[in-house]
Amino acid sequence: MSVDGTRHDDGDTAAASAVPRMSVARVYDYLLGGTDNSAADRFAAEQIKALFPELEDWAWCNRGFHQRAARWLAAEAGITQFLDIGSGLPTQNNTHDVVQAVDPACRVVYVDNDEQVAEQAHRLLSDTGRVSFVHGDLRKPDGILANPDVRAQLDFAQPIGLLMTAVIHFVADELDPWKLVGRYLDALVPGSYLVLSQGTYDKQAPATVERATAIYQNANEQVYPRSKPDVERFFAGLQIVPPYDGAKPDVTFGGLWGAEDPEVADDDASRALYAAVGRKP
């Protein structure tokens, strides 16, 4: 059985098993200039960049949105607890670095389903008492929400910042990602926030979409880009925060959220990512 669920004969299976699988977390690490990645990850990233030259800028766009939104939650909304799901490697300038620079009392729990990422994360976070890493799968919310390490670090009777950046596009429509996000929000008290970004191919040529998606068939996760109306559904019932001064509350392109100069931030990489921050009333 292949990663996309199709069957192969013995020869195909042997050939497929000889091809190293890329990790989406380590591809992201590579695009951001990290070193915790393999040759398979780097090769896959370069293949995608050949189709979508803005890929590296896209990764930095998402990282920038994540950092600006997390900082805003800590500095402007007074959030001191963060649940970062699909975090990848918690390397330099990740969530805990950003929010603890605002308030050292902030607590952060990172969650990722990649076992190798989990091993590396535990090593990277060995000396940070207010930061934890949990090996868990976004698609199994009950396991994450009931995890004793999550409960030990976060007080669910107080508002929490739920961060899901560049991760929900790895959940297929058949698994109802909107219901999954809703399950997490149901566990949070009013005054909590959702920070979410989602890849989109709205502005891309169909042939590019098909070829880029095919590359992910050799990944540990498949990718499911979505339209703006689909992303807006994740924020149903939430109070969306205006993305920048003078803007109306809305889902916007990733680079525009928190931008000092939205015109400069509005580029092709930004337009491949939808993003928003919403408050639970």
Domain spanning 10-279: CATH superfamily: Vaccinia Virus protein VP39 (3.40.50.150)
Summarize the confidence of residues 61-86 as an average pLDDT: 96
Instruction: Record the pTM.
Output: 0.81
Give pLDDT, residue 19.
37
Summarize the confidence of residues 164-172 as an average pLDDT: 94
Q: Return the beta strands (E) in the chain as ranges.
A: 81-85, 107-112, 131-135, 161-165, 193-199, 239-240, 252-253, 273-279
Angle at alpha carbon of residue 174, lines to 239 and 224, rounded to 5°: 70
Give pLDDT, residue 64.
93
Write phi, then psi, for 133 (nearest 5 degrees). Answer: -125, 135
Give pLDDT, residue 6.
33
**Which band of pLDDT confidence, cut at 50, 70 and 90, is reported for residue 143?**
very high
What is the torsional sign of CA 56, 60, 66, 69?
negative
* pLDDT tens digits, 89-116: 666 678 999 999 999 999 999 999 877 7
